[in-house]
Amino acid sequence: MKNLKTIIFTACALFSLGAVASTEHTTVQGDHGKLDVVIQRPDNDAANGNGSQANAKAKAGKKTPLLVLCHGFGGNKEGKLFDCLVDSLNKKGIAVIRFDFNGHGKSEGKFEDMTVLNEIEDAKCILRYASSLPWVSKIAMGGHSQGGVVTAMTSGQLVAQADKDIKKIQAVVLLAPAAVLRDDALRGNTFGKMYDPKNPPAKIEMWDGKALGGNYIRTATTLPIYETAKNYHGAECILHGDADRVVPYTYGQRFHYLNKKSEWHLMTDADHGFGGQEEQAAHIASDFLAKVLK
């Protein structure tokens, strides 16, 4: 029984590591250096080192929808929630690009130089890259926590000011979007680290040797999160847990109120990372994307 539980628990991670999906690693120039990128496609033979198989399928008219996935503050592109989402999407014929923002994971840049605004620019760099891939049919965007804020603001910005090198965002998925970050900055309290919001220090020591730059605070206090997000009126799925102690679910619910085409899913007893309910959250999101993108 113990071994069986272990197999079930690690199923998502095994899939994302290449047990079924094809995986390609690359880098994309971002706003503050090169971004570490992983592309995971539904078929084992969908792509190889030189992409010849992928290009051949594209020329034959067999294209694939793709989700660009954004991680949260201080995190990276790995983790069970994202593993399960990739698993579920690949099984439904949808590819995923996940990447580390500047100053995170394996990407270049310093964490203390990171802001939501330059993460939005990173996301646009990834979207331009994704839009250039010949095998991509439609593009969706999704994000967890601060990555959800980046997703919401980026999709809103691209409606207000289109980028000729970025395909239209066909769908958006927000997983516990951390719009609270602006209020936290105004209160002078980011993840329990206290400061004067009117005069933030040059940097704030966080954890694991990381320091948050004062520019993050200064830009966060005036960040037009909802004002920008409301420009997007396309298909949208918003998930939040009612046990989220990092970002109260009302912050996610407000995104739903801004978009009449959005779906709202409040998950009982789910925390900020959907701990223990990652597969359920992934299935909700992937079912939504399969419906919209296929």
Structure tokens at 236: 């949208």
For 190-225, write each residue's pLDDT tens digit: 999 999 999 999 999 998 889 999 999 999 999 999
Write down the pLDDT at residue 43: 76
The reported pTM is 0.89
What does the domain layout of the chain look like in residue ranges? Answer: 2-177+235-293
The CATH classification number of 2-177+235-293 equals: 3.40.50.1820
Structure tokens at 25: 């690693």
User: Is residue 108 within 8 Å of residue 129, measured between CB atoms?
Assistant: no
Q: 119, 128, 117: which is closest to 75 by C-alpha?
A: 119
Spatial distance between the Cα atoms of 224 and 119, rounded to a whole number of angstroms: 15
For 236-277, write each residue's pLDDT tens digit: 999 999 999 999 999 999 999 999 999 999 999 999 999 999
- The answer on pLDDT for 12 being more than 80 is no
Mean pLDDT score across all residues of the chain: 90
Q: Which residue has the tokens 């009982």?
A: 268
The answer for residues whose C-beta is within 8 angstroms of residue 132's C-beta and 6 or more apart is 165
